[in-house]
Amino acid sequence: MLNIRLICVGKLKEKFYLEACKEYEKRLSTMCKMEILQLEEEPDRPGALAKEAEKIRASIPAGSYVIAMCIEGRTMSSEDLADKLQQLQNTGVSRLCILIGSSRGMDEALKKEAGLRLSMSPMTFPHHLARVMVLEQVYRGLSILSGSKYHK
């Protein structure tokens, strides 16, 4: 079973986002071991992204494949994401870390260290919605792989 750690910078406060995340966590519990780690956002001053990157790096288990969510990343269809998840598992990857930076973004050096830089869209969405969207797409990808009817 794939172990997935979603590392997010910033506190999720809105009830509707929290409820949506809990729903996808529940759905994913039968498909993978999902853990969401929420790190504190640094105050907006010089070096804040680098400090957040240090906290993120310290939270990535050794041997993890890292996906950094960033606007300039590669876009993928849900089927492509499912294929990527399958490819990772086929090559022996059992730990996956997906990174979502703060509302100010993510440190460039950290993005460059990731195995994949992934973008949801060139459009701008509320920062905290990204967490829900990532969980939904992971659920969709694993549903595709399991042959579930969730993905139509």
pLDDT digits (tens, 9 = 90+) for 64-117: 999 999 999 999 999 999 999 999 999 999 999 999 999 999 999 999 999 999
Burial label for 75, CB within 10 Å (0-12, 13-18, 19+), is: exposed
Task: Report pLDDT digits (tens) over 5-53.
Answer: 999 999 998 999 999 999 999 999 999 999 999 999 999 999 999 999 9
Count of structural domains within the chain: 1
In a domain, 152, yes or no: no
Establish if 151 belongs to a structural domain.
Answer: no
77 lies in a domain?
A: yes
pLDDT of residue 149: 84
- How far is Cα 43 from Cα 123, in angstroms, rounded to an integer? 26
Domain residues for the domain of 73 are 3-146
Report d(CA 18, CA 10) in Å as an integer: 13
CATH number at residue 81: 3.40.1280.10
Q: Are 41 and 103 in contact (CB under 8 A)?
A: yes
Quick one: pLDDT at residue 50?
97
Taking only the tens place, the pLDDT of each residue in 102-151 is 999 999 999 999 999 999 998 888 888 999 999 999 999 999 999 988 86
In a domain, 107, yes or no: yes
Q: Assess if residue 78 is contained within a domain.
A: yes
Residue 152 has pLDDT above 80, yes or no: no
- Domain membership flag for residue 126: yes
In a domain, 9, yes or no: yes
- Alpha-carbon distance of 116 to 118, in angstroms, equals 6
20 inside domain? yes
Amino acid at 73: G
Q: Among 40, 116, 113, which Cα is nearest to 83's? A: 116
